[in-house]
Amino acid sequence: MIRVVIADDQPLIRLGLKVLIETEADLELVGEAENGLAALDLVRRVSPDVALLDIRMPGLDGLAALREITADPALAATRVVMVTTFELDEYVFEALRNGASGFVLKDAEPADLLRAIRVVAAGESLLSPTVTRRVIETFARRPSAPAAVDLSGLTSREREVMGLVGMGLSNDEIAAHLVISPATARTHVSRVMIKLAARDRAQLAVLANQAGLAG
């Protein structure tokens, strides 16, 4: 059973998420909150598998709540998915950089949202690949100096794999691109995440873009 918390200041959005989650046999709604402070308190009390956080909430916004959650060792197993709109791509990028496992759009199809919850709970990231790539590409096109990301411990193949993750490719797509097996691609990704202490695949993608490897 995947335990889920939802947080959104709009009652209608919360109701829709609640009804959707409660119709699924493998999902359990363990709490809901109407602002960031209440969401943070709730997550700390119930330690859900997945927390769906709206980015814009009164008091403490979703990004601030996200930073508190990802900085708390006791919540290391909790995955955070930000609920947003594509127009807020600056916030999406910041959310990924601060440890969000991914994001979903408020107008996403119900099936996409359910898939997002399950994928994140299973330890994967970078939800809604098509939209995620659009966000990554938006930032990749912006002229900026690469950030200081220490890549000295990576092999040349691992840097290559990291760059492909940064472009939004799945393990199967990386395998096809490099003509290796999916299992080998997964191993490379896992090793890079460990070496760079990336919380998950989403954060690794951000690091790849910051280091100038994606593109």
| pLDDT bracket for residue 149 (50, 70, 90) | confident
- 154: CB partners within 8 A, 6+ apart: 162, 192, 195, 196
Instruction: Tell me the average pLDDT across 2-20.
Output: 94
126 pLDDT more than 60: no
The mean pLDDT of the chain is 85
Contact 29, 51 (CB under 8 A): no
Judge if 45 and 124 occupy the same domain.
yes
For residue range 53-62, what is the model confidence (pLDDT) as tens digits? 998 888 888 9
Judge if 128 and 201 occupy the same domain.
no
**What's the number of domains the chain is made of?**
2
Judge if 26 and 81 occupy the same domain.
yes
| pLDDT bracket for residue 69 (50, 70, 90) | very high
155 pLDDT more than 70: yes
Nearest in space to 187 (alpha carbons), one of 166, 213, 157:
157
Residue 215 lies in a domain: no
In the chain, the percentage of residues whose pLDDT exceeds 90 is 47
Q: Which residues pair with 102 in a beta bridge?
A: 81
For residue range 29-66, what is the model confidence (pLDDT) as tens digits? 999 999 999 999 999 999 999 999 998 888 888 999 99
Judge if 48 and 132 occupy the same domain.
yes
CATH number of the domain within which 120 lies: 3.40.50.2300
Cα 70 from Cα 28, distance rounded (Å) = 22
109 pLDDT more than 80: yes
128 pLDDT more than 90: no
pTM over 0.85: no
